[in-house]
Amino acid sequence: MFQAGSGVMSSLLGIPYFLLYFAVGAAIMALFIIVYIRVTPHDEFALIRAGNFTASMALSGTIIGFAIPLSKALAQAVSIPDLLVWAFAAFIVQLLTYGILRLLMRDLTRMIETNTAAAGTLLAAGSIASGMLNAAAMSL
C-alpha cells in the first residue's frame, strides 16, 4: 500500500519540524499576549471575566491581527531564527498599531472599560488590518 518515498512517508518525516515550528509559534503567540496585556492600561482578562464584550472584541482582534503575520512567518521561515525575526516585526507592528490608535482616541481605555463597542470594534479592525498589511509586506 505505502511505498518508501511516497507522499505519506515524506509527510510523516516532516512531523518533527511541524511540532517544532508549531511549539515555537504557540510560544511566540503566548508571549505576545502577555506583553500586550501588560502594555495596555486596562486589565483585559478581568474585564472579559466581568462580561465586557468590548474588551473581548478588542483583544480578539489584536490576537487575530498578530496571528495573521505570525502564520505567514511560520509558512515562509527557513529556520527558527528567521521565524523569530519576522515574528518580532509582527510584534512591533501590533504594538505600534495599538499606540497609534490610543493616540488618535485618547479615551480608548475608558471606552473599553465602559464596554463601548465602537472602541473595541475600531481596535479590533485596526489590529486585523495592520496584521494583514504586515503579512502581505513580508518577504524573504
pLDDT in tens, 42-66: 999 999 999 999 999 999 999 999 9
Is 44 part of a structural domain of the chain? yes
> How many domains in the chain?
1
Mean pLDDT of 78-101: 96
pLDDT-derived band at 1, boundaries 50, 70, 90: very low
Is 123 part of a structural domain of the chain? yes
Is 28 part of a structural domain of the chain? yes
Is 110 part of a structural domain of the chain? yes
Helices and strands of the chain, counted as H and E runs: 7, 0
Backbone angles phi, psi at 13, to 5 degrees: -70, -20
Is 1 part of a structural domain of the chain? no
Residue with more model confidence, 1 or 122: 122
Q: What is the 3-state secondary structure (H, E, C) of 105-127?
A: CCCHHHHHHCCCHHHHHHHHHHH
Domain that holds residue 115: 7-137
Give the pLDDT of residue 31: 98
Q: Is the pLDDT of residue 5 over 60?
A: no
Is 2 part of a structural domain of the chain? no
pLDDT in tens, 22-47: 999 999 999 999 999 999 999 999 99
